[in-house]
Each structure stands twice: as structure tokens, then as C-alpha cells.
Structure 1
Amino acid sequence: MDIITLIIILSLIMLGVISFTLFIRRLLINTTPRSFHTSSESDIDKKLDKIIMLLEDNKYSK
């Protein structure tokens, strides 16, 4: 009975360590592409600003 309890406790500790490691790994992987998305968001912002400017010019020219 003591061996079974010890095996269960050790397996739960190992499961906790593995899931914590995978969680940290996923956080590190997900934070890396954000710098890539920032540049593409900047491009999108520039395009949206241009569209707004063109629409305003069109509105005032009527």
C-alpha cells in the first residue's frame, strides 16, 4: 500500500513538472511572434490611415 501511494505521489509530481514546463515553453513560443505581428499591424495601420485620408478627400471634393 505504501509503494502504490509513493508511485501515485511521484507520478503526480512528474505530471506537474511536465505540464509546468510545457506551459512555460508555450508562453515563450507565443511571445516570440508578437514582434513579427507588430510590424504587420503597423503596415495595416498605415493602410487604414491612407484609406481614411482618401475617403475624407473624396467627401470634401463633392
Structure 2
Amino acid sequence: MVNIGDVIFQIVMLLFVVLFFVSLFLFIRGLRKSQVYRSDALKRIEGKLDKIIENQERQSRN
């Protein structure tokens, strides 16, 4: 005969495993999104620095 406590325990453990993998997936997805955001921000900063350097070179020529 099946004990109801054993069934509940198995269901709870299965839910913990599912919750772990869902959490891991969401964590990795969040890391990737923040990495893309940082990459875009670095590209914008690099473009601004290039403009500043060009302006400095123009001013030093004049």
C-alpha cells in the first residue's frame, strides 16, 4: 500500500528539481541580457571617445 506521506515527499522533491532548473535558466538568461547591454554601452562609449580624439587632433592641428 502507498503511504500518502511518501507521495507528498516525492511530489515536493520533483517540484524542487523543476524549480532549480527554472531558476538556473532564468539566471543564465539574465546574465546574457546584461552582457549584451554592457556590450552596447561599451560600443557607445567607444564611439564617443573616438569623436573626442578626432576633435582633439583637429584642435592640435589648428
TM range (shorter): 0.5 to 0.7
Compute the TM-score of the two structures, normalised by the length of structure 1: 0.64
Q: How many residues are treated as equivalent by the alignment? A: 53
2, 12, 30: which is aligned to 2:10?
A: 2
Distance 2:32 2:21 in 1: 17
Compute the TM-score of the two structures, normalised by the length of structure 2: 0.64
Distance 1:39 1:26 in 2: 20
5+ residue gaps, structure 1? 51-62
5+ residue gaps, structure 2? 1-8
How much is the aligned-residue C-alpha RMSD, in angstroms? 2.3
29, 33, 41: which is aligned to 1:25?
A: 33
1:38-58 CA distances to partner (integer Å, 9 max, x unpaired)? Answer: 1222244456678xxxxxxxx
